[in-house]
Amino acid sequence: MLLNSQSTRSLLRAVDFEYAPQRFTVYTARDLDRIGQLERLPAELRYEMKVVSSVLPFRVNEYVLRELIDWERAPEDPMFQLTFPQRGMLSDAHFKRMAIAIDSGLEKKELQVVANEIRAELNPHPAGQLENNLPRDESGEPINGLQHKYKETVLFFPSQGQTCHSYCTFCFRWAQFIGDKSLRIATTEAEKLYSYLRHHPEVTDLLVTGGDPMVMKSKQLKAYLEPLLHPEFSHIQTIRIGTKALTFWPHRFIFDDDADELIELLHHLVLAGKHVAIMAHYNHWRELDTDVARAAIRRVRATGAEIRSQGPLLAHINDNSGDWAKLWNEQVKLGVNPYYMFVERDTGARRYFEVPLYRAWQIYRDAMKQVSGLGRTARGPSMSAGPGKVEIQGVTEINGEKVFVLRFIQARDHDLVQRPFFAQYDENVTWYDQLRPVQGQALPFLEAAR
């Protein structure tokens, strides 16, 4: 028995509202014509979705369709934009190229060739993930399925967790979902993870990520995580689990067949002395606005696990301070810790979602004015770039020159952590590699990472 009392067991299993459990039903690109709600949209928009979803991955489930999207506001509705492909997610040249291929009646394999050529031009693995973050074993062989960029934290990609309950249209890990094994980061070889951790006592945090590890059965997740309770892994203080399930399928924590087993696993890890952090992805306050989503949060928190929220600032979805302030205020009320506001990464559909850095900072600052100190734990706007997480701290003047003030929140080179620096102010800049040094100052770490 994992739990230490009957009262604790009752607490973890309690559901304090009436809700009819849903059957998990999912739709992919080949099912677009089966989604009845789309019939209210113009045929041209539906055609554009077909073209874009032939390049970028698409997956949505019935809960998102019924509970999260406001169909009276589609296609402008933020939850619709979060899950359904839009023409602007591809450049005009890429869109026309894919459209011509489809309209020409090419066979499936031929369409895949065209799609893969376009995907290769969308920077499928940004920030040197495959080149710079891939750890090696004692023999010098690369370990697929792991990433080790920052000294304290290792990322683990279990093969069974490399999909999601629904896909986000902005996803920077979109290359995981297109069926190209050469681009996929995943492994089933847990022993290689354990061996690596044994040889790296400086690692304190393990992040299980994907895709979404919460698509796995609880028994699979348990098999990966429980060995970390052995004394030889005492240096692993925190187990993080990156997930969108609290938004896209909160039933996972309440009504799924093995939901109780999942909740007991989280509680067991906490009782065994591990800090369990659910790294929850939130993009809009509407994701918190259903009874089942709030109940899932309460149930996770009852295990002793902590929930931290993170997500990027996105044009068409949340590029205003009011939505961010409401999101953070609601999260604080529910006991979720605001953690990061990210800048949309330089991959996939970034051209559709990116926001200039000066505007991202303004939105962040204005949102911070509307929350209490407990909501001001959200750091950002932060760019997860090659050398590390670069935070935009503000805009000021130096010797009459308008400049960005930045710093590294985290860095591959520890000497850069918390180090402030300046860059030329430019209202067109959307990413770190577009920054230019202030006169008389060098940015060697940026230059080296280009």
β-bridge partners, 420: 407
C-alpha 63, offset from chain centre: 19
What is the rounded CA–CA span in Å between residue 449 and residue 436?
13
Question: What pLDDT shows up at residue 450?
Answer: 43
pLDDT of residue 182: 77
Phi then psi for 157, rounded to 5 degrees? -115, 85
Q: Do you find a cis peptide bond into 213, omega within 30 degrees of 0?
A: no
For the chain, the average pLDDT equals 92
Instruction: Please name the residue that has the structure tokens 């074993």.
Output: 137
Both tokens assigned to 337: 């810790």
What value does the mean pLDDT take over residues 346-353? 95
Asked whether residue 1 carries a pLDDT value surpassing 50, the answer given is: no
Report how far apart, in Å, the C-alpha atoms of 2 and of each of 253, 265, 270 are. Answer: 17, 8, 11
- Give bridge partners of residue 28 from the DSSP assignment: 59
At 49-103, the pLDDT tens digits run: 999 999 999 999 999 999 999 999 999 999 999 999 999 999 999 999 999 999 9
Nearest residue to 79 via CA among 327, 317, 352: 317
- Count H helices and E strands in the chain, helices first: 16, 13
Which position has the higher pLDDT, 383 or 7? 383
